[in-house]
Structure 1
Amino acid sequence: MIGRIGLSRVLTRGLSSGEAAKLTIQPAIERSPTDLLNALSETVGPDTTAPHFAYIDDPITIPSTQSAKKTYFMAKEFGKRAARELATEWPTLFAFDRDQPRLPAFRPQHLADPLQVDPTEKSLQKMIKSREVQDSCVLYERLRSENVEVSEKVQLELFRLVAYYNSSNIPFSEWQEWAGIRNFGEESNAKWKTGGVADLLFETLQKTDETVSIMIAALCKFHDSQSVERAKELYKEHQKGKIHLEAFNGLIGASSFNAAKKLAAEMNCLKISPNISTFNALLFSAAKIPKYEEKIKAFSEIIAEIRELDMEPALSCYYIIVKNLIDSKLLDKEKRAENEEQSYNKQLTLAVSWISEILNEIEGK
Structure 2
Amino acid sequence: MAAPGKHVGHLIYKNGRFLLSNFEHFCLRRNFGWSAVVCQQNASTERESAEAIVIPKKKTWSKWAVLQALASTVNRDPTAPHYMFQDDPYLTPRTSAEFKLYSLSQESGRMAANHIVNKNPKFFQKDFAEPHIPCLMPETMELRIEEVSEAALLERIMLRKVKAAVDMYDQLLQAGTTVSTDAANDLLDLICLYGDRDPVQDDKPEAEDVEVQEEGRRRKGRLRRASDLVRIVWRENNNAERIFNLLPERDTRAYSALIRGMVKYGAHVKAFNAYTDMLNNRLTADVHTFNALISAAPEVRERYTEKWDLIVDLLKQMNEQKVKPDLLTFNALLKALRRCGSLARAQSLHTLSEMKAMGIAPSLASFDHVLGIFYKAASPSQGQTDILQEVMTEVAGRTFVAQDPDDGMPACLDTKDIEAAYRVHDLLSVGENWRLLGDSFQQSIYFGRMFNLLCMMEHIDVVLKWYKELIPSLYYPNPQGMRDLLQALDTDNRLDMIPQIWKDIRRMGHDNKSDLVEELLSLMARDKHSPEIQESFAVCALDVRSLYEQGQGARMALEWTATAMTNITSVLLAAQKKQQAWDMLKLFKTKNRVPSEELMEEFLASINDPQHAMELVQISASFCLPSTPKLAERVLQEFELSEEQNGSQLQYPHQPNSSPPVPSTVHISL
TM-score (norm 1): 0.65
Cα offset for 1:243?
A: 1.4
CA gap of 1:122–1:279, structure 2 versus 1, over 3 A, is: same
Distance 1:87 1:318, change over 3 A: closer
Would you say the 8 A contact 1:231–1:251 is kept in 2? no
CA distance, structure 2, for counterparts of residue 307 and residue 65 of structure 1:
47
Structure 1 residue runs of 5 or longer lacking an equivalent are 1-37, 174-184, 332-343
CA pair 87-125 structure 1, distance change in 2 beyond 3 A:
closer
Kindly indicate whether the alpha-carbon contact (under 8 Å) linking 1:119 and 1:148 is maintained by their aligned counterparts in 2.
no
Alpha-carbon distance in 1 for matches of 2:150, 2:337:
45
Secondary structure at the aligned position of 1:162 is classed as helix
Asked if 1 retains the 8 angstrom alpha-carbon contact of 2:272 and 2:293, the reply is no
What whole-Å deviation, never above 9, does each CA across 1:153-202 have from its counterpart, x for those lacking one? 311221222223332445799xxxxxxxxxxx999753323322221221
Cα deviation, residue 232, structure 1:
4.1
Provide the C-alpha distance between the structure 1 equivalents of 2:347 and 2:200, rounded to a whole number of angstroms. 32
Does 2:101 align with 1:71?
A: yes
Q: Distance in 1 between matches of 2:136 and 2:361?
A: 44
- Structure 2 letter corresponding to 1:75: S
In structure 2, the residue matched to 1:363 is: 396
Q: Is residue 86 of structure 2 the alignment partner of residue 56 of structure 1?
A: yes
The reply to whether residue 128 of structure 1 matches residue 161 of structure 2 is no
Q: What's the counterpart of residue 217 of structure 1?
A: 260
Question: What do residues 23-80 of structure 1 show as CA deviations (whole Å, max 9, x unaligned)?
Answer: xxxxxxxxxxxxxxx9999668545536544211223433366665443222112123
1:13 is aligned to none
SS of the residue aligned with 2:351? Answer: helix
Give the drift of 1:136.
2.4
Residues 253 and 282 in structure 1, CA contact (< 8 A), matched pair in contact too = yes
2:338 is aligned with 1:304 = no
Map 1:1-365; keep pairs closer than 5 Å. 45-46=70-71, 48-49=75-76, 51-63=81-93, 68-85=98-115, 111-112=141-142, 117-144=146-173, 149-170=178-199, 190-205=232-247, 206-238=249-281, 240-255=282-297, 256-289=307-340, 291=341, 293-326=342-375, 344-346=378-380, 350-363=383-396, 365=398
Task: Report the counterpart of residue 35 of structure 2 in structure 1.
Answer: none
- Matched letter for residue 251 of structure 2: T
Q: Is the 8 A contact 2:172 2:178 kept in 1?
A: yes
Aligned residue number for residue 178 of structure 1: none
Structure 1 residue 357: Cα displacement: 1.7
- Unpaired segments of 5 or more residues in structure 2? 1-61, 203-225, 298-306, 399-670
Which AA in structure 2 matches 1:212? Y
Larger of the two Rg values belongs to structure: 2
Q: Which residue of 1 aligns with 2:214?
A: none
Q: Do the aligned partners of 2:375 and 2:384 also contact (CA within 8 Å) in 1?
A: yes
Q: How many pairs does the alignment contain?
A: 294
SS in 2 for 1:254: helix
The 8 Å contact of residues 192 and 219 in structure 1, kept in 2 or not, is answered as yes
- The alpha-carbon deviation at position 260 of structure 1 amounts to 0.6
Q: CA deviation digits over 1:127-176, x for unaligned, max 9?
A: 22233334423433444456554333311221222223332445799xxx
Query: Distance in 1 between the 2:293 and 2:125 partners?
Result: 56
CA contact (8 A) 1:216 1:235 kept: no
Conserved in 2, the CA contact under 8 Å of 1:216 and 1:234?
A: no
Q: Please give the secondary structure, in 1, of the residue aligned with 2:271.
A: helix
- Against the structure 1 CA distance between its residues 67 and 252, is the aligned structure 2 distance closer, same or farther, given a 3 Å change threshold? farther
Indicate the residue corresponding to 1:34 in structure 2.
Answer: none
Does the C-alpha gap of structure 1 residues 98 and 363 become closer, same or farther in structure 2, counting only changes over 3 Å?
Answer: closer
Q: Percent identity?
A: 19
**Shift in CA distance, 274/110, structure 1 to aligned 2, threshold 3 Å:** closer
Q: 1:360: how far off?
A: 1.0
**Which AA in structure 1 matches 2:91?**
T
The Cα shift of 1:310 comes to 2.9
1:160 and 1:133 map into 2 onto residues whose CA distance is 10
CA–CA distance in 1 between the matches of 2:360 and 2:150?
Answer: 44
User: Which residue identity does 1:63 align to in structure 2?
Assistant: P
Asked if the contact 1:220/1:231 (under 8 Å) is kept, the reply is no
2:143 and 2:156 in contact (8 A); partners too: no
Q: What amino acid sits opposite 1:61 in the alignment?
A: L
Question: Alpha carbons of 1:231 and 1:352: their partners in 2 closer, same or farther (altered >3 Å)?
Answer: farther
Q: Is the contact between residue 118 and residue 141 of structure 2 (CA under 8 Å) also seen in structure 1? A: no
Kept after mapping to 1: 8 A contact 2:294/2:311: yes
Per-residue deviation, 1:83: 4.5
**Deviation digits for residues 299-352 of structure 1 (CA, Å, limit 9, x no counterpart):** 21211221222322111212223344456xxx6xxxxxxxxxxxx2336x5444
Tell me how far apart the structure 1 counterparts of residues 259 and 169 of structure 2 sit (CA, whole Å). Answer: 22
> Structure 2 vs 1, CA of residues 67 and 164 (structure 1 numbering), >3 Å: closer, same or farther?
same
When residues 49 and 364 of structure 1 are mapped into structure 2, their CA distance, relative to the original with a 3 A threshold, is closer
The verdict on how the C-alpha distance between 1:310 and 1:241 changes in structure 2, with shifts beyond 3 A counting, is: same
Q: Tell me the secondary structure at the aligned position of residue 182 of structure 2.
A: helix
Q: Residues 189 and 109 of structure 1: is their aligned pair in 2 closer, same or farther, counting only changes over 3 Å?
A: same
Partner Cα separation in structure 2 for residue 62 and residue 314 of structure 1 = 36
Task: Quote the Cα distance in structure 2 between the aligned partners of 1:98 and 1:125.
Answer: 24
Q: CA RMSD in A?
A: 4.1
Q: How far is 1:363 from its partner?
A: 0.7
- Give the Cα separation in 2 of the matches to 1:352 and 1:308: 25
Contact kept, 8 Å, 2:255 with 2:275, in 1: the verdict is no
Alignment-derived partner of residue 22 in structure 1: none
Distance apart, 1:118 and its partner CA: 3.1
* Contact 2:163/2:197 (<8 A) preserved: yes
